[in-house]
Amino acid sequence: MTEKNVSENFITQIIDADLASGKHTHVHTRFPPEPNGFLHVGHVKSICLNFGIAEDYQGLCNLRFDDTNPDKESVEYAQAIQSDIKWLGFKWHDKVRYSSDYFDKLYNYAIELIEKGLAYVDEQSPEEIRENRGNFTTPGINSPYRDRPVAESLDLFARMKAGEFDDGSMVLRAKIDMQSGNINMRDPILYRIKRAHHIRTGDKWCIYSMYDFTHCISDALEGITHSICTLEFEDHRPLYDWVLDNISLECHPQQIEFNRLNQSFTMMSKRKLNELVEKGKVDGWDDPRMPTVSGMRRRGYMPESIRHYAQRSTVTKKPSTVPMSLLEDAVRQDLNKVAPRIMGVIKPLKVVIENYPEGQSEMITAKNHPMDESFGTRELPFGRELYIEADDYKENANRKFFRFTEGREVRLRYAYYLTCQRAIKDEDGNVIELICTYDPETKGGSSPDGRKVKGTIHWVSAEFADDIEVRLYDRLFNKPAPKGLGDLNTNSLEIIENAKIEPNIVSNSEGVRYQFERMGYFYRDTTHENNKPVFNRIVTLRDSWAKLEQQN
């Protein structure tokens, strides 16, 4: 039996009961993004839940764009959302749906409500409407237009549609209860006049329905059984039900709300992410530091890691924040299993082995995965000149530093023991080269005399290594609960243009995630290269934020 997408939670319990009681014979969910930005890791929780439940119950899940705010929506966003869902590994039922598919039907249901005396055209100004809605402590005040004759509202609504009135001059409102304790029920607006070009219907409409009216009807028209959404819609549920109870549509889906995924060190809402893009704080929506699906993809996260992480965030009615380190751990754990090990030097320091014959070279056998023999081995060229990591040398090292300092012997991974004889400096006193000697008896990394060395470092052949650019990413924000752009981590991107990688990797690197031994996991970013191959660091080998995360 294959494992379930969604582990048991209060929503699956509702579904189980509905199937057992015969209320439903099948399950049909939907994922309803607004095409006003890219999907982020929070959306992944909703995607895993909606598509995952449909899969688990052999049901269906629709993808429906909630496109009722023409100002903010674009075709590019809609396309990006579709490719993100596919990349995450989910398939929607049948064709992509749009709320705009139902504009004609929605209009007719609005007329039905007017005819039943349950909706009216209100000519108060937007300020008056806001003012008269009251607040948590004050009840609302009825509009002077509330009891106008049905025929008058029908006429005005038709003329609103025909474009006879200015934007904002009137709205269609449901007639429910201005005294209701639930502000959403105080004669909510159903339609407003807005002259805006729509991504699908062009200039056909100058009135657009509001979310609360559109969403429930779209769900019902599609035969959705369980309409799963986040907790902020809980107070809208009475309106969801009111609309469906008062129009002639048989289907009445059940709206169920769950806790959204919040993540430490992350700002999630599309509005805030858009601000980062607009202000040039990041390199687009798919910047590898963004919590967007496309950013995580470009960075090199595997789709299953993101899914597993989102699925681990429990589905309840209680808001909660997940530490970002859980996502990074999920990414690391998966990469550890699938990433071949190679050697790349990020900040190169030249090493010359003075007792290694000039003009000579040899091959060294290296394992591609320390725990998994099936990855096999490869041959690495070794010679007189190498590059090592600059940080693996220290001029004034104490006894606990097991890497290079003058006179200290260190193991080169898979190769030989090397002793650092002296450092060569430039005029400013910077170390630019190490002169070393090697012990030819230690090939493979051990000494026949049983002599032990404590440090093992990575290296590449200076002659055969390829030049690459490396981009090291850190968290975009440096506060566990960022409030705004003031909490941006100014050191979240470091670009190193002269990094080195062992030969025969670059040409095979597209789509492969590698571990650069000791330095982390890396992924080729072919979409953002100029002249050199670019490798993004997906994640370091260890968590460097553990302390701050605990304060969260």
For ligand ATP, the closer of residues 32 and 188 by Cβ is 32
Closest CA to 513 of 542, 536, 533: 536
Structure tokens at 70: 């023409």
**What x-and-dash track marks residues 32-51 binding Mg ion by CB under 5 A?**
--x-----------------
Task: Name the minimum Å distance from CB 333 to ligand ATP.
Answer: 22
β-strand pairing of 493-501 with 466-473: antiparallel
The item of ligand ATP, Mg ion, none sharing an interface with residue 499, based on CB under 5 to 8 Å by kind, is none
Please say if 34 is a catalytic residue. Answer: yes
User: Which position among 192, 270, 297, 384 is part of the footprint of ligand ATP (CB under 6 A)?
Assistant: 270
Please answer whether residues 327 and 321 qualify as being in contact, where contact means their C-beta atoms are separated by less than 8 angstroms.
no
Task: Name the minimum Å distance from CB 47 to ligand ATP.
Answer: 8
For ligand ATP, the closer of residues 270 and 475 by Cβ is 270
Q: Which residue is nearest to ligand ATP (CB)?
A: 42
Please say if 318 is a catalytic residue. Answer: no
Type and span of the H or E element at 310: helix 303-312
The three-class DSSP label of residue 349 is strand
Strand partners, 299: none
- 3-state secondary structure string, 1-47? CCCCCCCCCHHHHHHHHHHHHCCCCCCEEEECCCCCCCCEHHHHHHH
Task: Name the minimum Å distance from CB 467 to ligand ATP.
Answer: 40
One of 146, 148, 200, 260 is an active-site residue; which one? 260
Residue 164: partners with Cβ closer than 8 Å, 6 or more residues away: none
d(CA 419, CA 439): 8
The item of ligand ATP, Mg ion, none sharing an interface with residue 33, based on CB under 5 to 8 Å by kind, is ligand ATP
One of 30, 34, 64, 257 is an active-site residue; which one? 34
Q: Is 188 in the site for ligand ATP (CB under 6 A)?
A: no
For ligand ATP, the closer of residues 273 and 499 by Cβ is 273
Please answer whether residues 321 and 550 qualify as being in contact, where contact means their C-beta atoms are separated by less than 8 angstroms.
no
Strand partners, 383: 361
Please answer whether residues 342 and 505 qualify as being in contact, where contact means their C-beta atoms are separated by less than 8 angstroms.
yes
Q: Is 72 in the site for ligand ATP (CB under 6 A)?
A: no
Q: Is 45 in the site for ligand ATP (CB under 6 A)?
A: yes
Task: Name the minimum Å distance from CB 270 to ligand ATP.
Answer: 3
The item of ligand ATP, Mg ion, none sharing an interface with residue 520, based on CB under 5 to 8 Å by kind, is none
Size of the site for Mg ion (CB under 5 A): 1
DSSP string, 223-243: T-SEEEEEGGGGGGHHHHHHH
Strand partners, 496: 470
The item of ligand ATP, Mg ion, none sharing an interface with residue 344, based on CB under 5 to 8 Å by kind, is none
Residue with tokens 């014959």: 357
Size of the site for ligand ATP (CB under 6 A): 14
Q: Is 97 in the site for ligand ATP (CB under 6 A)?
A: no
d(CA 492, CA 502): 26
**Footprint of ligand ATP on 225-264 (CB under 6 A):** 229-230, 260-261
Please say if 260 is a catalytic residue. Answer: yes
Residues that bind ligand ATP (CB under 6 A): 32-34, 42-43, 45-46, 229-230, 260-261, 268-270
Instruction: List residues near Mg ion by CB under 5 A.
Output: 34
Q: Which residues are part of the catalytic machinery?
A: 34, 260, 270
